[in-house]
Structure 1
């Protein structure tokens, strides 16, 4: 009996493998070209395939769409071709192309053979138009653009060279590489994003990894992320369950729970309001203005450059405060549950100040 089952299983698997092995590629191509003003708008909406955008010095839009089906016969491929359509609309100031799946059934209800297809957009546009792309289950590649750009992508990867204007980005389940961009606003989830340079960023992020080389300002609302930033002027953050690593920052503010921070160098000021966190400020420039630390169940480490003048004002309930021996203490009160200390290093009336208000956790200041 076992040998009979084995034979049946072998025949079943062999049949499946044979069916896949005998599939061939069939394709249909749609080519369209329309005039458009240099400051017009281009909308592209696709699914199940990549969207590639190139630029040229003509005030025209050229679209090259390839529908590719892998099927056992041309008849079965034709079923997919009959169900896939691309709707075009154009005026002198606007062009749109939209993929439409006409089947009454959901794509998920198609059999496996009918699902084996892709729809590829290759589009040539003036680089000054406003570009809007909506894609699902496919990559997006965009050449250098001078107009505003909006991207909505699920389950795909992004590659952008340079955007001279603003970018709106709604991106999930993919990997992105962006060169230079003016400002970015949008939402990120379940993605990895690498950015070389931007001016301002305003993002909601979750379950993502962000690597940024240079930025001016960031406003972040986040949860379950990893941030790694090389240099930024101002970082304003609210979140939970994140890891933030910044090599150099001028101005920093964070309100967070269950998050850890490493700041390589702070040149001006930093402000933290944390619950259940860990903060390591490895270096503070001698010209810094202030550092404000509020924490519950949070540990802070702050290292200043030797010789830096500053004032320290710290109060801790059920938390420890450690300071350098060179600190000139002007007030100190300590019990088994409370520690308050005030003092200065360098000038008695220095303009730089470190303030701390802690409940459970600790503060360690070194220089």
Structure 2
């Protein structure tokens, strides 16, 4: 099937299956609290039709085959249809490619079909207090106990942990090891009362999509160790390199919709008549086009160690500036919430206000700007490593 026919099929399927209750339900960074029940049901619909995991190395896990360009087509049509924010993206876009690259056949056959069916949700257990951007400083341990590992430690900023069935955890399996050595990549079930505890973290937006996760002797099967004991750093870095691929283009289509809303607001409030505001809008528009061209240029360049870091630097700062612009075009009214402040839920924000507050973290989470610049400097430009 060529790309034109594939686009027609994707567009027709979305038109047929998206109901009024699906469109505009929201979801995604800053809005993960919206429409969760609808989005979980929608995830299973996507899976039943084979739209999850399209273009994986094989198509025998319930997904459908697709070329790289067709993956881009699906991402574009999905975003433009205003379909619900995906709740299974961590399993589909992070875990699955990592298992395809590093996992055993048994691990792929066990975990990929439930992801492709939209049945099992995942979260990522990387960052810890004191080991956020400096991931090699993590202290969570996993001790071998027969045919299992006992995982003990704390993870933080764990997106969607409160709804996840599984967590892929980077833990230290070699006693006395430090930095990158002695780490392993384990698949840990979240349903372990008394051994796994999830505590939501309330954000500036009033929502709690990030969490702290405490492991107290949580059990992970030895057969669910990915890449071999002590090879966790290699697996973890491979996963981070996969984190920004076709999904980056989906993100940018969402950015385009947000920018369009800012422009409509600027026209409605008269802010578009301000030369400074107009210049900021033009800059946002031009930079978004540049990000798209860069994303298309780097698709499939998995061997380029700088591509993910460049992409993160570009979109993090861009989205943060868009949040600031969204408030500027509304004037003083931007500081007033939409709710009835006399009711029992006074802390309520609209989409633009949530975007402004949440984007304050865009240059920090997923690897801070400082870390991204270090990666580019050291791994791409060959500059001396940072000291001190």
TM-score of the alignment, normalized to the shorter chain, above 0.5? no
Structure-1-length-normalised TM-score? 0.20
Normalising by structure 2, we get a TM-score of 0.19
Rg comparison, structure with higher value: 1
Q: Which has the higher contact order (CA 8 A, sep 6+)?
A: 2
